[in-house]
Structure 1
Amino acid sequence: MRTTSVIIIFWILVSYPNFQNKVALSQTLSSAFSSHGEWHLLYASIGISAMHMQVLSNNKVIIFDRTDFGPSNLTLPGGRCRVDPLDTALKVDCTAHSVLYNIASNVFRPLMVHTDTWCSSGSVLPNGTFVQTGGFNDGERNIRVFNPCFDETCDWLEFHNYLSERRWYSTNQILPDGRIIIVGGRRQFNYEFFPSSSDNPSSPRPTFFLSFLQETTDSNENNLYPFVLLLPDGNLFIFANTRSISFDYKRNLFVKEFPRIPGGDPRNYPSTGSAVLLPLDENKDMEAEILICGGAPQVSFWNAVKGTFMLALSTCGRLKVTDQNPNWVMENMPIPRVMGDMLILPTGDVIIINGARLGTAGWDNGREPVLTPVIYWSSPRDPNWRFTVMAAASRPRVYHSSAVLLTDGRVVVGGSNPQMNYTFSGVEYPTDLSLEAFSPPYLSPEFDITRPTIMYFTGDFVGYGEYCYVTFTVRKFVSASELSVRLVAPSFTTHSFAMNQRMVVLKLIGVTYVRGETYYATVAGPSTPEIAPPGYYMLFVVNSGAPSSGLWVKVH
């Protein structure tokens, strides 16, 4: 479709008699392009495949894949080498398996990760430290810590055997008290915490049995990377396979089991749909809604192993868990999708990006990559207008791809390596080492007139329930009803799930005109740590659908 449109523009420009009209018409058609977003290649190769990504509060993105498939395409500097006698591929490896990408300068540098991070999990502590947990082989009980810095000195620190159980395909969630809960993993029907209640290395660190994970295991283990989301009442929403519960982790008690998602098809790895907690709005009675989209039929995995690739699921389920008797409301995406990433955009809408139309997750188990992202409008003015198909990417992103939201409103996308090793030829979908950015429609020039620019924020932190002031400029301010101030927690994304992702719409006390194009908004900080756990967030001002660039603030 995009190619056809380019041909039409060329034909009009060479045929139209008035050059000025040509330019005007070209700009109009370009605007039509931007209404479906735009793709930009950042790097043809960063040397590694982006299996895991996390945005940090110094506006850098830490990216890594795994260490046990042999050398990457990026050499470690200064003659450094990783020596690992337990590695299944290379005992001495002088290539990097992690990089740090600087958003502002668009440069990256290699990092040294020591043990295998394959299919691991992560969260950011309230102080901004990234904690990465588990993996495979010699990394399965390890934690790795990365403290953001503004020079070129920071690198991974690793702590061996800190975890009580092997955490491979587990899920992390930051909690209101600043701890991280680590849930599940392959054949792990339990959870534990970081920091542990026992920080003595010689003492056993407690784990807690979670029968729900055992009950939802089937022959395909469709409960790996369970969807774990913190609810505003402090309990956890946990979805595995086709079932979901509200869970009190403090008392190890089931609070409620919700109805099964209609259709009977699993949504977790390897069937691999995705899930988000829709924005929590402090300007209304507090409601919590879960959105789960995509996945694959129950028997899809074993059929793919045998060479038959089934059509992925096209359904999304929306569940308002704060209702007294919640039920799933089902909707249909315009494109079936498995292995799609779901990210909350600054506007509160959800982008569904990456993935395939056929098959499941797993080695070479997907076919027909879905190149077109879809935006799910979380609160459309027309309830029949829920999805919009975006501009198509040029590169397939299937198994082992990822995506994260940046402070400038773009979505960075990388990865795709459905092979056991780095493989660049002779296969259906070669290893992809590139990094791209997708610019959603709100970044198009037509929104410049309503796009705010944050000039000043009261301090660098947001206190619970305390008033804050955001000074911004905007060429066209419509009304306070069209303005919102939003916090977005940066996600750790891997295997189609953005862990710790959440958005809080702050309570708007009022908007005051200053002079010229300058205004300031008075907002109240989040009501409780259950609504917004302590830590760093991206703060956006959104005016008439146009978001500002984000500003990092600390909630505490």
Structure 2
Amino acid sequence: MSNLFLLISLLSLLIFHSFITTSEILPFHNGREGEWRLLWPSIGISAMHMQLLRNNKVVVFDRTDFGPSNISLPGGRCRYDSNDTALKVDCTAHSVLYDVETNSFRPLMVQTDTWCSSGAVSPGGSLVQTGGFNDGDHAVRIFTPCNADSCDWVEYPGYLSRRRWYATNQILPDGRIIIIGGRREFNYEFYPKNEDPYSASSGSFWLQFLLETRDESENNLYPFVHLLPDGNLFIFANTRSISLDYNRNRVVKEFPPIPISDPRNYPSSGSSVLLPIDENKAIEAEIMICGGAPRGAFAEAGRGNFVRASSSCGRLRVSDEDPRWVMENMPIARVMGDMLLLATGDVIIINGVERGTAGWELGQSPVTRPVVYRPNGNPDWRFSVMSASPIPRLYHSSAILLADGRVLVGGSNPHRYYNFANVEYPTDLSLEAFSPPYLSIEHKPFRPQISSVNEILMLGQPFSLTFFVPLYLSENLLSVRIVAPSFTTHSLAMNQRMVVLKLVGVSRLTPDSYQLTAVGPSTAEIGPPGYYMLFVVHAGIPSWGSWVKIQ
């Protein structure tokens, strides 16, 4: 690489970093707005739910009771379901497995109804998918990744003790999964349950907080749930939040209500993230919640009055002795947006509408431009607006972070049944990817490439990895981050988590390659067991993620 090219690249990076600390909502230019790419005009189903697995394949599924999809089950297979409200015999698929590396997909067979269900990945790497509607409301479904084309769903229809429709899942430090709430279910339970009927963990546990925070329809749907570094759960419902000790079924603390008291959970459908936990300094836990719809917006939309969504965001550092919400405003009001942690630790807010709320025909004015938020930026200049997708993503859309740093986006089914014609926003079966600005070609000289890393990282134990980078600037601009992939549905990225690992040191091996030493998560409360994407981030530019297992 010539010295002139290195100089030009360095100058471009300096200009880039100057830009992101001195601009507010001006769009990026020359590759800095990000780029969209259509992957498939149709994968046969609408991507209501998505989960990335450790082999870089994505389980995608819709509900089963909307009639035939646009992709057939293989080998003449059909689904026979006397409980189905649309088709008793259905020879089409309602789930697919998308291969990121080959940009291909194949149909999967799911039997029970997955509408508005929840999920989490077990420590062993299997997707544990829970609840749904009708004959699926007590079901547990397991999808275990394999290298062959024989992997498919395995279902346990009556496993759950309560009806779990619009519930939320969270992986726990001991590897169990907690399943919280659901339609008129003000309680929680665990998977796997203790098969001893006299054991406390074999049934459900009442949670008064969910009853107290229910909406005007007597529901409390898809509460926001995050595992905190102290082992307790942060649970947010509409405007209120608590810290829950689930082992003792005890509320440890109730936090102040979020200001600007618009409800944030379904159908008002804001979104939330647990901001990155940094092990290089004193451990802090901070929640960010953005968007939503004003109180009464659901009823108003039903009468044809589409109220403007909320543009407010709140940050709450729950680890503070006296936590207080700090409020900011997004450049674009948004309901049904998905908040995802990018590989850099920045937050992308994507999908949704500017008016209305979640529900059939209840959203208007699609927001097709994502927004990137930099949590550590100057408070006055944290938001940047990205380039627009040509595809509206309304009710029942979803998005997930991929190991290559892109954001996979799909879905949008704002009508009852598959409605492709004579409507303003047709059901959408496409799949597309958004490449954030850090994937722009101008940053190639600063992009690290991981050469080798241990596949298994132990809690609190040091490990080494080697990486290559054409133009290395400084150890002060280097970090190692692990990201737990989310189960995303209905504006909620369940189990999403980023830990910035403690960096011990860096040494040069050759002119372009380096070895660093870092330390695995200090506790299972900070990094629960399971599979993560590991990124090396240099000068704000991430590597592709390598899969590692925390145990």
Please classify the TM superposition score into its range, dividing by the shorter chain length: over 0.9
TM-score, length of structure 2 as denominator length: 0.94
| Number of the residue aligned with 1:387 | 383
User: CA–CA distance in 2 between the matches of 1:470 and 1:38?
Assistant: 30
After superposition, the Cα gap between the structure-2 partners of 1:127 and 1:231, relative to the gap in structure 1 and judged at 3 Å, is same
Deviation of 1:105 after TM superposition, in Å, equals 0.4
Does 2:293 match 1:296?
A: yes
Match 1:364 to one of 343, 361, 368: 361
Post-superposition Cα deviations, 1:318-356, rounded to whole Å, max 9, x if no partner, equal: 000000000000000000000000000010000000000
User: CA–CA distance in 1 between the matches of 2:345 and 2:321?
Assistant: 25
After superposition, the Cα gap between the structure-2 partners of 1:303 and 1:555, relative to the gap in structure 1 and judged at 3 Å, is same
Indicate if the aligned counterparts of 2:190 and 2:201 stay in contact, CA closer than 8 A.
Answer: no
Does 2:525 match 1:551?
A: no
Does 2:160 match 1:143?
A: no
| Number of the residue aligned with 1:488 | 483
| Number of the residue aligned with 2:112 | 115
Deviation of 1:31 after TM superposition, in Å, equals 8.9
Deviation of 1:204 after TM superposition, in Å, equals 9.7
TM-score, length of structure 1 as denominator length: 0.93
Partner AA of 2:84 in structure 1: D
User: CA–CA distance in 1 between the matches of 2:199 and 2:532?
Assistant: 36
User: CA–CA distance in 2 between the matches of 1:225 and 1:371?
Assistant: 24
| Number of the residue aligned with 2:5 | none
User: CA–CA distance in 1 between the matches of 2:253 and 2:158?
Assistant: 34
After superposition, the Cα gap between the structure-2 partners of 1:221 and 1:430, relative to the gap in structure 1 and judged at 3 Å, is farther
- Give runs of aligned pairs for residues 123-138 of structure 1, distance below 5 A: 123-138=120-135
Post-superposition Cα deviations, 1:206-246, rounded to whole Å, max 9, x if no partner, equal: 10000000000121456310000000000000000100000
| Number of the residue aligned with 1:333 | 330
Deviation of 1:383 after TM superposition, in Å, equals 2.6
| Number of the residue aligned with 1:106 | 103
Identity score, percent? 65
Indicate if the aligned counterparts of 1:222 and 1:266 stay in contact, CA closer than 8 A.
Answer: no
Indicate if the aligned counterparts of 1:164 and 1:204 stay in contact, CA closer than 8 A.
Answer: no
Post-superposition Cα deviations, 1:249-270, rounded to whole Å, max 9, x if no partner, equal: 0000000000000011100000
Indicate if the aligned counterparts of 2:93 and 2:110 stay in contact, CA closer than 8 A.
Answer: yes
User: CA–CA distance in 2 between the matches of 1:321 and 1:214?
Assistant: 23
| Number of the residue aligned with 2:507 | 512
Indicate if the aligned counterparts of 2:184 and 2:220 stay in contact, CA closer than 8 A.
Answer: no
Instruction: Give the aligned CA root-mean-square deviation in angstroms.
Output: 1.6
Deviation of 1:34 after TM superposition, in Å, equals 1.3
User: CA–CA distance in 1 between the matches of 2:365 and 2:200?
Assistant: 50
| Number of the residue aligned with 1:454 | 450
Partner AA of 2:449 in structure 1: T
Match 2:53 to one of 51, 56, 67: 56
Indicate if the aligned counterparts of 2:184 and 2:219 stay in contact, CA closer than 8 A.
Answer: no
Deviation of 1:439 after TM superposition, in Å, equals 0.1
Match 2:403 to one of 404, 407, 415: 407
Post-superposition Cα deviations, 1:280-300, rounded to whole Å, max 9, x if no partner, equal: 000010000000000000010
Partner AA of 2:423 in structure 1: V
| Number of the residue aligned with 1:224 | 221
Post-superposition Cα deviations, 1:20-44, rounded to whole Å, max 9, x if no partner, equal: xxxxxxxx9x993410100000000
Deviation of 1:475 after TM superposition, in Å, equals 1.0
Partner AA of 1:54 in structure 2: Q
Structure 1: unaligned runs, 5 residues or longer: 1-27
- Give runs of aligned pairs for residues 268-287 of structure 1, distance below 5 A: 268-287=265-284
| Number of the residue aligned with 1:542 | 537
Indicate if the aligned counterparts of 2:189 and 2:201 stay in contact, CA closer than 8 A.
Answer: no
Post-superposition Cα deviations, 1:30-65, rounded to whole Å, max 9, x if no partner, equal: 993410100000000000000000000011000000
- Give runs of aligned pairs for residues 238-277 of structure 1, distance below 5 A: 238-277=235-274
- Give runs of aligned pairs for residues 13-24 of structure 1, distance below 5 A: none
Deviation of 1:540 after TM superposition, in Å, equals 0.2
Indicate if the aligned counterparts of 1:162 and 1:201 stay in contact, CA closer than 8 A.
Answer: no
| Number of the residue aligned with 2:463 | 468
Structure 2: unaligned runs, 5 residues or longer: 1-15, 17-26
User: CA–CA distance in 2 between the matches of 1:288 and 1:121?
Assistant: 24
After superposition, the Cα gap between the structure-2 partners of 1:83 and 1:460, relative to the gap in structure 1 and judged at 3 Å, is same
| Number of the residue aligned with 2:19 | none
Does 2:103 match 1:86?
A: no
Indicate if the aligned counterparts of 2:183 and 2:219 stay in contact, CA closer than 8 A.
Answer: no
Indicate if the aligned counterparts of 1:337 and 1:356 stay in contact, CA closer than 8 A.
Answer: yes
Post-superposition Cα deviations, 1:72-95, rounded to whole Å, max 9, x if no partner, equal: 000111100000111110000000
Indicate if the aligned counterparts of 1:222 and 1:270 stay in contact, CA closer than 8 A.
Answer: no
After superposition, the Cα gap between the structure-2 partners of 1:201 and 1:44, relative to the gap in structure 1 and judged at 3 Å, is farther
After superposition, the Cα gap between the structure-2 partners of 1:256 and 1:203, relative to the gap in structure 1 and judged at 3 Å, is closer
| Number of the residue aligned with 1:426 | 422
| Number of the residue aligned with 1:47 | 44
Indicate if the aligned counterparts of 1:220 and 1:301 stay in contact, CA closer than 8 A.
Answer: no
User: CA–CA distance in 1 between the matches of 2:135 and 2:198?
Assistant: 18
Moved more, 120-129 or 473-482: 473-482
| Number of the residue aligned with 1:76 | 73
After superposition, the Cα gap between the structure-2 partners of 1:280 and 1:221, relative to the gap in structure 1 and judged at 3 Å, is farther
| Number of the residue aligned with 1:18 | none
Does 2:160 match 1:171?
A: no
Deviation of 1:477 after TM superposition, in Å, equals 1.2
Give the SS at the match of 1:316: strand
Consecutive aligned runs of 4 or more in structure 1 exceeding 6 Å deviation: 199-204
User: CA–CA distance in 2 between the matches of 1:31 and 1:230?
Assistant: 34
Match 1:397 to one of 393, 396, 399: 393
Deviation of 1:412 after TM superposition, in Å, equals 0.3
User: CA–CA distance in 1 between the matches of 2:194 and 2:371?
Assistant: 43
| Number of the residue aligned with 2:343 | 346
Partner AA of 1:231 in structure 2: L
Deviation of 1:403 after TM superposition, in Å, equals 0.2
Indicate if the aligned counterparts of 1:39 and 1:436 stay in contact, CA closer than 8 A.
Answer: yes
Partner AA of 2:478 in structure 1: L
Partner AA of 1:432 in structure 2: D
User: CA–CA distance in 2 between the matches of 1:140 and 1:193?
Assistant: 15
Give the SS at the match of 1:34: coil
Does 2:412 match 1:416?
A: yes
Post-superposition Cα deviations, 1:368-406, rounded to whole Å, max 9, x if no partner, equal: 0000000011111x3311100000000000000000000
User: CA–CA distance in 1 between the matches of 2:261 and 2:547?
Assistant: 41
Moved more, 115-124 or 421-430: 421-430
Partner AA of 1:456 in structure 2: S
Does 2:455 match 1:443?
A: no
User: CA–CA distance in 1 between the matches of 2:282 and 2:201?
Assistant: 43
Does 2:209 match 1:212?
A: yes
| Number of the residue aligned with 1:21 | none
Partner AA of 1:461 in structure 2: I
Give the SS at the match of 1:32: coil
Indicate if the aligned counterparts of 1:510 and 1:521 stay in contact, CA closer than 8 A.
Answer: yes
User: CA–CA distance in 1 between the matches of 2:218 and 2:65?
Assistant: 23
